Structure 1
């Protein structure tokens, strides 16, 4: 005796295979798009962090030199003398050099100003991605020392 279900075949129909293929393709496209987005975000954040680090490092070095120096900073154009150290900002290449050694290649603005009345030095640094460090340091001593030229 033969059973009635002997003519039925097991397996998937062509429609089921196509539907599965479409769903898997959609999921793979979504996952690859997500991975590309994450990679771009990582790259952007890595650049921003590097520039923030550069700006912070330059500010720390400059402030350390100002604190160590007996003289006030002297500014002439893109050159600033702080004690024995000379800083040069190259606006075209966005570099800052200290004693002819490059300490950053991401600085768009390097500005040091002396305020004679309060004996304060204002420092402003801005990176190429607009990361900004702005600080003021109060100098000790009288106001009759060398002053910064602007």
Structure 2
């Protein structure tokens, strides 16, 4: 005859299962945080524009113009990557470029040196508002 499982054994099984689930969730959270740190570090320490950047930009703006557009999204990044969390961009402040860091700052310098003299313009805007706060920032090139 089969012996019935005792309630304390069932509680132990349940506790072990909950502990395993919590550990899996903690592991996923740690992995996501590590990936976010790597992304942030890569963004902040990006030092140069790709050698074929002008070729890629020329192709992108030509394609956009052929589709009747007058701007392209060049870059998207979290507002946390700005020195002020995207506040200056969100409030349309004239000094918003000074809030850029890392890759965005390098891209803006490239724009000033190579594209602004040709008549292009650049602007940034908040693309999302998770929880009512600035989320992703979009850096646009227009003509």
- TM bin (shorter chain): 0.3 to 0.5
> 1 or 2, which has the higher helix percentage?
2
Structure-1-length-normalised TM-score: 0.36
Choose between structure 1 and 2: higher strand proportion: 1
**Relative contact order: is structure 1 or structure 2 higher (C-alpha 8 Å, sep ≥ 6)?**
2
Normalization by structure 2: what TM-score? 0.38
